Amino acid sequence: MPGFELFGEKEKLQVQDVLDSGVLMRYGFDGMRKGHWKAKELEVAIADRMQTKHAQLVSSGTAALTVALASAGVGVGDEVIMPTFTFVASFESILAIGAIPVLVNIDDTLTLDPRAVEKAITNRTKVVMPVHMCGSMADLRALKDICSKHNLLLLEDACQAIGGSYEGKPLGSYGDLGCFSFDYVKTITCGEGGAIITNKEDFYKNADHYSDHGHDHIGKDRGAESHPFLGYNFRISELNAAVGCAQINRLDEFITIQKRNYTIIRNHLEKIDEVTFRRVPEGGVENYSFLNFFLPSEELTRTTHRSLGEAGVDTCFYWFDNNWHYYKKWEHLTNLKSLGKLPEEVKNQLPDYKKSDFSNSDRWMGRTISSLIKLSWTEADVVKRAEKMAGVIKTNLNTGQ
């Protein structure tokens, strides 16, 4: 991770096809494009790889979440349960359609705690949205059972976990809807882009229309198409899709490299008794884009993370203090900072996050270090990195004692 590390001739060839045709838009201009439909080609490849009936490309992972929610009829006043550890796009997509983000605690999977989810359900809850952060998944079986019990939708945010699986199913395909991001720093990239996958025909049709101003895409005359309902512009370009056409075919190659590098580092850290690792639910397989581990205390984790940076290990993250990925720094959500007026339903219904108790989340995140796994590392590079990481951790453990 990320796929741009290994850009090569395959990506160049796909992009050159688009430039040669002169058609950068995914719809229309049938005669000019010389049979090149990169977005359609990528949608077929994604649906096939993810073992789903449908895939709809959009302009970003954020757009994918927004369109997925809208396609399922989620709107003003509906509640969407999401974790405290995610990217800000999770609550942005919910607020964009006037719905209510309901934050709940995570557990040792670093994703939604099913017990916290069940406690948060009200008569306004519409969706449970686990976010498979850093390449691994939530307890999807437990969450699916909760959704079935309460007649809720399960929407997987798999933006950081493409290539992982649960109970033999690709992540994103286990729930009613799944979303991916193909931005510049994802395992496979389009530069910018995203996708929704689903087996539900009505959700797919809604996503197809909604993401292109409500166009029904019937016939070959774009100007004559009707608009069954309101939509917006969340289209991907053919240039972005072209990059994705090359990268989707390299996904297994990338996962293999990530697994090798991940395993080398983990094998070194496993020898340290005080280091424990994020729980991967039984039946789950990570995509190996991050190695996530716990140290005994928040104080020790902070000092160790700082020491890793000073030692030149600059690919480790301490999410607990991160501005984008953990609730503690989301003042714009907590204080409802918005350029325009938010709907009254949102302002009146949104929990007061200044008073919320997320100490269970803090207990895990305060002790978590995440090591990014890069594709460009040689095996020798990884061994040196692993030895350095283990040495720094041991030194801090000894000093801390």
Catalytic (active-site) positions: 186
The set of residues, in sequence order, having a beta carbon less than 8 Å from that of 376 and lying 6+ positions away, is 5, 6
Residues linked to residue 191 through DSSP beta bridges, in sequence order = 183
Indicate the pairing of strand 276-277 with strand 284-285.
unpaired
Angle between helices 238-248 and 38-49 (to 10 degrees): 30
Q: How many CA atoms lie within 13 A of 7 on its CB side?
A: 17
Contacts of 142 (CB under 8 A, 6+ apart): 114
Gap between the Cα atoms of 104 and 131, Å rounded: 12
Residue 23 token pair? 């058609």
Q: Which of 305, 257, 239, 320 is nearest to 2 (CA)?
A: 257
CA gyration radius, the chain: 22
Q: How far apart are CA 276 and CA 280, in angstroms?
A: 12
Residue type, 48: D
Across 127-146, b (16+ Cβ under 10 Å) vs e yields bbbbbbbbbbbbbbbbbbeb
